[in-house]
Amino acid sequence: MLCPDGLHFNPNARWPEYACGYPQDVPCVGRGITQPANPTAGCAHQYGYFPSPVADPNDCGHYRICNAGRAIEMFCPAGLAFNPVTAQCDWPELVPTCNVETYIRYQCPPAAIGRNGNPVVTNHKYEGDCSAFYSCMNGHARILSCDTGLAFNPVTSRCEDALHVHCEAKSIAKYY
């Protein structure tokens, strides 16, 4: 028997687990060649996660899932980018094809070094959304958000009770 195009046989699968899985979950190292692709108009393989050919070049979070040869456009959660190597959403700086500053639309200030010799993490205001903020780690910007009921206070650079944080944003903005 063969797994559907784009999936690999998992020799470790036990009933009732499905015996075929995505390549990122079931590497096919040293087991011969995979079956030939059975592409459709929108998919290189019947099953899999792929960069989207219709994505804006600056939108690193847009990708495509192929399910039975049908293309479904998908988006990573805010602030994450699709990593074609791992077929998962990842921090943008870990995706070689992503221009982080263009995608995140923010450039961190130069990383400061603390007394212990480690880079200092700094947080910065995200315009248009009171609960979101940029967290700069080693010079890389990551979009994070406060828990429900909290808002980012740019004075203290922390999430605090939303009732005590002055915020001019009228609505939640799209993070990218």
Domain boundaries, the chain: 21-27+36-98, 105-164
Residue 175 predicted with pLDDT over 60: no
Q: Do domains 21-27+36-98 and 105-164 have the same CATH topology?
A: yes
Average pLDDT rounded to a whole number, residues 149-172? 87
Predicted pLDDT at 36:
87
CATH fold of the domain at 21-27+36-98:
Antimicrobial Protein, Tachycitin; Chain A (2.170.140)
Other residues' Cβ atoms within 10 Å of the Cβ of residue 7: 23
CB count within 10 Å of CB 176 equals 20
Tokens of 75: 């988006």
Give me the mean pLDDT over the 47-55 stretch.
95
pLDDT at residue number 32:
73
3-state secondary structure of 104: helix
Q: For domain 105-164, which architecture applies?
A: Beta Complex (2.170)
DSSP 8-state symbol, 111: P
What does the pLDDT look like over 72-110, one tens digit per residue?
999 999 899 999 999 999 999 999 999 999 999 999 998
Quick check: 143 pLDDT over 80?
yes
Minimal CA–CA distance to 43: which of 70, 12, 82? 70
Least confident of 30-39, 59-68, 105-114: 30-39
Residue 34: its pLDDT value, please? 73
pLDDT above 70 (res 174): no
Which of helix, strand or coil describes residue 160? strand
* Amino acid 30: pLDDT: 77
Q: Return all residues near 96 (Cβ < 8 A) that are at least 6 apart.
A: 85
Q: Is the pTM of this model over 0.85?
A: no
